[in-house]
Amino acid sequence: MLNFRFGRHLAMGEESYDFPPFRPPSEANSLLLRVTRGCPWNRCAFCPMYKHIKFEKRPVQEVKQDIDTARAFTRGNVESVFIADSDSLVIKTKEMCQILGHLHRTFPSLTRVTSYARALTLKRKSIESLRKIRSAGLTRIHIGLETGSAQLLDRIKKGAGPRTMIRGCTKAGEAGFEVSLYVLLGIGGEADWQEHAVETAKVLNQINPDFIRVRTLVPVPGTPVFQWWNEGSFQMPSPETILKEQRTLIDGLSVTSEYLSDHVSNYAPINGNLPAEKTEMLSMIDAALERLSEDTDFRADLESMRYLRRL
């Protein structure tokens, strides 16, 4: 697949390409297509991604021009596309279907088209609208669950509670999308890691997503979480706590999902298909915890990773 990185704007004759600033790690080789700019919510306490970008819905014709520009650059050799920015399903269903139609006509070799979406947006869309978008060619949706704890979702200003998360995500599944959910390890801090793990497992069990992708919290300057950390009102979990949290989460899952630790932020690469590989995954965490208790060099390495995240 094509790695479509060529700068924020690519000049091609009189054409320009509006390049999205962010995409999931799993979309590293996808063509990136910007349908919206920024995030319509943009209040999450842990997220620095779109803080300086005004939210805008791009005109359909502009997006189509970018698709045509991409074809000229790629000669039509594209297998996967990621639609950005943060929550592009907020545009009208008719407009999204027009964009998807042009995208598939331009790149008949496409096998996967994905997008970020908020659970609240999915909840508000009718099932008929979601099915139209799926039929037009959007295949997978990436959704930030972060946690299943109502208390923590409120604290981090996610803008959606567990019921909204469950309803929005299950509607996406009912409409035929592959559902990829993100869980933020460490967001409960040292104080609430057990609640985070237990409640997140409960929500995931009700959704039963296709993919569960874990990220470890990295407090970033300029975010409320970073401020809480510096003030001392939030204690970042130790590597041992993160591993215990992940063990509790996996142990509580009764899903048929692919579990992926596909991000540089994570301490341990725990991956597997659930439920088939649950025992093996738990054993890997147990081995990491045992090594952490016995190997001072290993502990020092993980602690240094934790420290570097603060810089």
Query: What CATH code is carried by the domain that includes residue 125?
Result: 3.20.20.70
For the chain, how many residues are written?
A: 311
| Structural domain contains residue 5 | no
Domain containing residue 157: 25-308
Q: Name the one residue in this structure whose structure tokens are 């952490």.
A: 292
Q: How many domains does one find in the chain?
A: 1
| Structural domain contains residue 9 | no
Residue 71 CA to residue 68 CA, distance in Å, equals: 5
The predicted pLDDT at position 269 comes to: 85
| Structural domain contains residue 205 | yes
Say whether the peptide bond before residue 275 is cis (omega within 30 degrees of 0).
Answer: yes
User: For residue range 108-167, what is the model confidence (pLDDT) as tens digits?
Assistant: 999 999 999 999 999 999 999 999 999 999 999 999 999 999 999 999 999 999 999 999
| Structural domain contains residue 124 | yes
| In the predicted structure, residue 174 carries a pLDDT above the cut 80 | yes
| In the predicted structure, residue 277 carries a pLDDT above the cut 90 | yes
| Structural domain contains residue 11 | no
> Could you tell me which of 183, 177, 170 has the C-alpha nearest to residue 119?
170
| Structural domain contains residue 20 | no
User: For residue range 204-226, what is the model confidence (pLDDT) as tens digits?
Assistant: 999 999 999 999 998 999 999 99
What is the percent of the chain where pLDDT is above 90? Answer: 76
| Structural domain contains residue 1 | no
| Structural domain contains residue 33 | yes
The predicted pLDDT at position 305 comes to: 60
DSSP character string of 6-38: S-SB--BTTB--B--S---GGGTTSEEEESEES
Residue 289 CA to residue 193 CA, distance in Å, equals: 16
Are 46 and 215 in contact by the 8 Å Cβ rule? The answer is no
The predicted pLDDT at position 90 comes to: 97
User: For residue range 83-104, what is the model confidence (pLDDT) as tens digits?
Assistant: 999 999 999 999 999 999 999 9
